Amino acid sequence: MSDSYTVTDPSGNSVELPKVQGTLGPPAVDVRKLYASTGGFTFDPGFTSTCSCESGITYIDGNEGVLLYRGYRADELAKKSNFIEVCYLLLNGELPTKAEYDEFESAIRMHTMINESLKRFFTGFHYDAHPMAMLSSIVGGMSAFYHDTTNTSDPEHRTIFARRMIAKIPTIAAAAYKYSVGQPLVYPSNDLDYCSNFLRMMFAVPAEEYAVDPVAAEALDVLFILHADHEQNASTSTVRLAGSTGCNPYAAMASGISALWGPAHGGANEAVLNMLNQIGSVDNIDQYIAKAKDKSDPFRLMGFGHRVYKNFDPRATVIREHCHKVLKAYGGDSDGKLELAMRLEEIALKDEYFVEKKLYPNVDFYSGIIYKALGIPTNMFTPMFAIGRTVGWVAHYLEMVSDPGMRIGRPRQIYTGADERAYTDIGSR
């Protein structure tokens, strides 16, 4: 097989472009020299056929429904590992030894508190502010606090930054929730594991004892593992693009949180539950399926479809199994949301429109049902995604800044505006 591609422009001029091949996945044509050789660009809005970087962190085979973190299947990790071990794996490339795990886990526990001044940021928000607005602002605000971790050429700075981000994001998310319900912020407790600590910060109040439910902590651990990374998704690409300018690392993380918020990305989990509420009952499913298929109607089946998965989303399969387990422990499907979601999935998967377009339930379709059963309010669903995805953003950011060949991300465009013209004086227009 040839190790280059030949591109011929309309005038018949040809240029040889190298082939790039990763360890897994399809080959790519390296177009970096295209402009210099031909004076032309490539055009790919939405990046449907464009690789923005090389990365050794996560691999997705969208046709087979495979998701690998550093070579390990995410669904296997969800069964056998835990979130902190997965964080170590994503950051370092290998599973930790027992000593490495203990050191890492203890370091995450010890970095959970946020600077006391950051607490005051919350009171600047209106009580009904969306927690994602608070999350991105406060993480961006961390840029002004942690000056000892911004030299990305220093491995020690990079390590402290990574640990700080992973350790503090649950504290900030829980504080955003507490502020929105008018309750005192709960400080982290370093004798608890990552997920138990988060649940306590979310739900404990000073007036009562709080006992963490291990079923809830386990469910969160699985969800965080399955959300931990997803290669060059929109928020991770945003982190890379922002970070490529050399901006403060916390500012790059804040940009990722903002990108995650949209309903086409991490905001879909919140949108799924709102959609299930809107559909209301199994009797109305056909009507909403018809709306989703109607091109003149903006309604889409939220939690369905994916840019990369064209078979099934392996994360959705694991989450659906966990849904049953969590609902069993929490008194069943009392409001019928799981039944409604399962029936909707069943009907959509038999519908020609969804079959032909290869639209399957994605990670966000069932996660909200678990969050809801655990008492997590709908507007906190996307912050939950952000907690899990923080390690992915950090791993990609660090991979990028450690690459000596890193360049600022700067796409080109096809200009469709006015041709050059002369300025006319306001009185003559």
Q: Which of 158, 178, 306, 322 is close enough to bind ligand CMC by CB under 6 A?
A: 306
201 three-class SS: helix
CB 193 within 8 A of CB 106: no
Q: Residue 69 and residue 50: Cα distance in Å, rounded?
A: 21
**Among the options 221, 313, 333, 364, which is catalytic?**
364
What string marks each residue from 31 to 70 as x (binds ligand CMC by CB under 6 A) or -? ---------------x------------------------
Looking at the Cβ atoms of 307 and 343, the one nearer to ligand CMC is 307
Q: Is 396 a catalytic residue?
A: no
Q: Which of 142, 201, 216, 301 is close enough to bind ligand CMC by CB under 6 A?
A: 301
Burial class (CB in 10 A: 0-12, 13-18, 19+), 362: buried
* Alpha-carbon distances of 67 from 76, 227, 329, rounded to whole Å: 10, 11, 29
DSSP string for residues in 137-179? HHHHHGGGT-GGG--TTSHHHHHHHHHHHHHHHHHHHHHHHHH
Q: Which of 73, 157, 291, 300 is close enough to bind ligand CMC by CB under 6 A?
A: 300
Minimal CA–CA distance to 347: which of 290, 295, 306, 308?
290
Decide: is 257 part of the binding site for ligand CMC (CB under 6 A): no
Decide: is 270 part of the binding site for ligand CMC (CB under 6 A): no
Q: Print burial letters for 57-87: b (CB count within 10 Å at least 16), e (below 16).
A: bbbbbbeebbbbbbeeebbebbeebbbbbbb
Q: Residue 33 and residue 16: Cα distance in Å, rounded?
A: 9
Chain mean position to CA 92: 19
Show the tokens assigned to 7: 């591109």
Decide: is 238 part of the binding site for ligand CMC (CB under 6 A): no
17 three-class SS: strand
Q: Residue 203 and residue 181: Cα distance in Å, rounded?
A: 11
> Minimum distance between the CB of residue 319 and ligand CMC, rounded to whole angstroms?
12
The interface region with ligand CMC, picked from 7-15, 139-147, 324-332, 354-362 by CB under 6 A, is 354-362
Decide: is 310 part of the binding site for ligand CMC (CB under 6 A): no
Decide: is 387 part of the binding site for ligand CMC (CB under 6 A): no
Decide: is 292 part of the binding site for ligand CMC (CB under 6 A): yes
Q: Which of 362, 367, 382, 390 is close enough to bind ligand CMC by CB under 6 A?
A: 362
Residue nearest to ligand CMC (CB): 305
Decide: is 232 part of the binding site for ligand CMC (CB under 6 A): no
Q: Which of 304, 366, 381, 393 is close enough to bind ligand CMC by CB under 6 A?
A: 304
Decide: is 307 part of the binding site for ligand CMC (CB under 6 A): yes
Residues whose CB falls within 8 Å of the CB of residue 370, separated by 6 or more in sequence, listed in order: 219, 223, 319, 322, 323, 326
Decide: is 302 part of the binding site for ligand CMC (CB under 6 A): yes
CB 66 within 8 A of CB 306: no
> Minimum distance between the CB of residue 315 and ligand CMC, rounded to whole angstroms?
9
Looking at the Cβ atoms of 119 and 291, the one nearer to ligand CMC is 291
Looking at the Cβ atoms of 194 and 365, the one nearer to ligand CMC is 365
The interface region with ligand CMC, picked from 3-11, 83-91, 277-285, 300-308 by CB under 6 A, is 300-308
Q: Is 364 a catalytic residue?
A: yes
**Among the options 130, 227, 265, 306, which is catalytic?**
306
Minimal CA–CA distance to 281: which of 365, 323, 337?
337
Decide: is 364 part of the binding site for ligand CMC (CB under 6 A): yes
Catalytic site positions:
306, 364
Positions in the binding site for ligand CMC (CB under 6 A): 46, 233, 264-266, 268, 292, 300-307, 357, 359, 362-364
